[in-house]
Amino acid sequence: MKTTLILICTILFLASCENTAPDPLLNEINGEWKLVKIGIGFPSPQGPTELTPDYEEILAFNASKGTYTRTKDGKVIEKSDVSISTDEKATYQKDKLVFEDSKTYSFMSFTETPKYLVLYQPAPIGSTLADGNSFFYEKIK
């Protein structure tokens, strides 16, 4: 009887523990990222294909908590829980960074040299992205 009680208590204890191992992609974006350029999604003829932001924007990701904070010129403009999923409808694998609080997402990717985190124009969850800007972030911390 005592052994059965200990076994049941152990099973309940283990079942109540949360899995705190973050998604490997969240680990890859963990830290602070600074916006360095904006790629124009559909530039006009003779228009620029990239813009340099005239403001400072920082994204801070906490992979272990699954959260992020966006600051613009030192002021917090957005906080949210985040997760990463794959777009099942895409013809090739596309990772989506989902902003749970605003119910939006951005496609995300990385460039090789230099290494930038690239986030596509945010869109409401459930919508299909067509054309929009790409935001290039450089890791600062």
Question: Among the residues of the chain, which ranges form H helices?
Answer: 2-16, 24-29
- pTM for this predicted structure: 0.76
Of the pLDDT bands very low, low, confident and very high (cuts 50, 70, 90), residue 127 is: confident
Q: Which residues of 89-110 are buried (b: 16+ CB within 10 A; e: fewer)?
A: eeeeebbbbbbeeeebbbbbee
Mean pLDDT along residues 86-93: 67
Q: Which residue has the higher pLDDT, 15 or 140?
A: 140
Residue 71 has a pLDDT of 97
Q: How far apart, in whole angstroms, are the C-alpha atoms of residue 92 and residue 1?
A: 56
Pairing between β-strand 50-51 and β-strand 95-99 as defined by DSSP bridges: unpaired
Q: Class for domain 22-139, per CATH?
A: mainly beta
Residue 95 has a pLDDT of 86
Query: For residue 11, is pLDDT > 80?
Result: no
One DSSP character per residue, 94-109 reads: -EEEEETTTTEEEEEE
The pLDDT tens digits of the residues spanning 19-41 come to 455 567 788 889 999 999 999 87
